[in-house]
């Protein structure tokens, strides 16, 4: 059998996602508007697709469970006046963060215009446009602009950019990184040794914690359909990601 071309792979992947949504979407969320059922963004209205990730774990609320404690702290700690989400995709985190009780100003970046369009729609669904701003390319001037707009305020850089963190998390090129906390998904699956490289770059200015993904989910998750069995939930929670993905949380030592 000949290898599948990229367009064919994307078509098959999208068809599979549509089948999974048709099979499980309403069983997870019920018959009304799609909504996140559990987790740190519980109650957030959602659209019928995810950009570059699996939709069902987001609807269930199990998505990226290993960092849920960090996300809860961001949502309810009131620490950050500004949050910069680089690689925002369809807006799961950007819109979620903008719903935090402290109402931080959220700046969402993505180089994909379709992703930004989907994120704007998600913001509209959740009526959070006042404190959420969308941008295309993230660069040093982007971070400078956010910091200058909130002098003295604490900022978080939240990043999932499929390996581009090697170029973006560079304190030599972007000295302002020393002033912000950073939560980044690391892609050693593409760039072996990346975690150690980023740790070396940030260790002088930040206190660092790392969490490694695990192939199960520990929390209890509620669905609209209580008849879903363990096999169903395993399919719903499958994020289709490489094993042992890592997230790094770097807190500035000056405020640690």
Q: Supply the DSSP string of 93-146, one letter for each residue.
A: HHHHHHTSTT--EEEEE-S-HHHHHHHHHHHHHHT-GGGEEEES---HHHHHHH
Q: Mean pLDDT over all residues of the chain?
A: 90
pLDDT at 11 over 50: no
With a CB cutoff of 8 Å and minimum separation 6, the contacts of 238 are: 54, 56, 57
pLDDT, tens digit, for every residue of 158-169?
Answer: 999 999 999 999
Model confidence at 2, pLDDT cuts 50, 70, 90, reads very low
Distance CA 103, CA 125 (A): 17
pLDDT, tens digit, for every residue of 64-114?
Answer: 999 999 999 999 999 999 999 999 999 999 999 999 999 999 999 999 999
Distance CA 126, CA 35 (A): 10
Q: In what order do the strands lie in the sheet with 181-186?
A: 132-135, 105-109, 82-86, 155-159, 181-186, 246-252, 206-212
Pairing verdict, β 155-159 and 82-86: parallel
Question: Count of H helices and E strands in the chain?
Answer: 9, 7
**Contact between residue 30 and residue 224 where contact means Cβ atoms under 8 Å apart:** yes
Percent of the chain with pLDDT over 90: 78
Taking residues 124-148, report their average pLDDT. Answer: 94
Distance CA 190, CA 3 (A): 21
pLDDT at 24 over 90: no
Domains of the chain: 6-252 (3.40.50.150)
**Contact between residue 212 and residue 244 where contact means Cβ atoms under 8 Å apart:** yes
What are the residue ranges of helices labelled H in the chain?
6-29, 55-60, 68-76, 92-98, 113-126, 140-149, 165-168, 194-202, 230-237
Instruction: List C-alpha distances in Å: 55 to 47, 89, 145, 232.
Output: 9, 12, 33, 15
């Amino acid at each position: 059998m000949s290898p599948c071309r990229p367009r064919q792979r994307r078509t098959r992947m999208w068809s599979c996602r549509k089948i999974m949504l048709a099979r499980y979407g309403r069983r997870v969320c019920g018959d009304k508007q799609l909504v996140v059922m559990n987790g740190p963004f519980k109650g957030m209205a959602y659209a019928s697709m995810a950009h570059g990730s699996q939709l069902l774990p987001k609807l269930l609320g199990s998505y990226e469970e290993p960092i849920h404690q960090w996300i809860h702290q961001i949502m309810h700690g009131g620490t950050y006046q500004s949050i910069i989400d680089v690689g925002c995709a369809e807006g799961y985190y950007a819109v979620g963060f903008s719903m935090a009780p402290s109402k931080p100003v959220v700046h969402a970046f993505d180089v994909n215009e379709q992703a930004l369009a989907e994120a704007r729609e998600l913001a509209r669904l959740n009526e959070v446009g006042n404190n959420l701003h969308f941008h295309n390319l993230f660069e040093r001037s982007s971070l400078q602009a956010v910091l200058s707009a909130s002098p003295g305020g604490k900022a978080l850089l939240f990043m999932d950019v499929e390996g581009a963190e090697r170029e973006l998390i560079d304190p030599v090129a972007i000295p302002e990184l020393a002033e912000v906390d950073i939560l980044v998904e690391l892609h050693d699956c593409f760039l072996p040794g990346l975690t150690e490289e980023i740790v070396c770059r940030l260790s002088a200015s930040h206190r660092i914690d790392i969490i490694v993904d695990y192939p199960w989910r520990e929390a209890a998750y509620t669905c609209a359909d209580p008849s879903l069995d363990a096999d169903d939930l395993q399919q719903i929670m499958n994020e289709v990601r490489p094993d042992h993905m890592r997230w790094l949380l770097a807190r500035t030592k000056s405020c640690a």
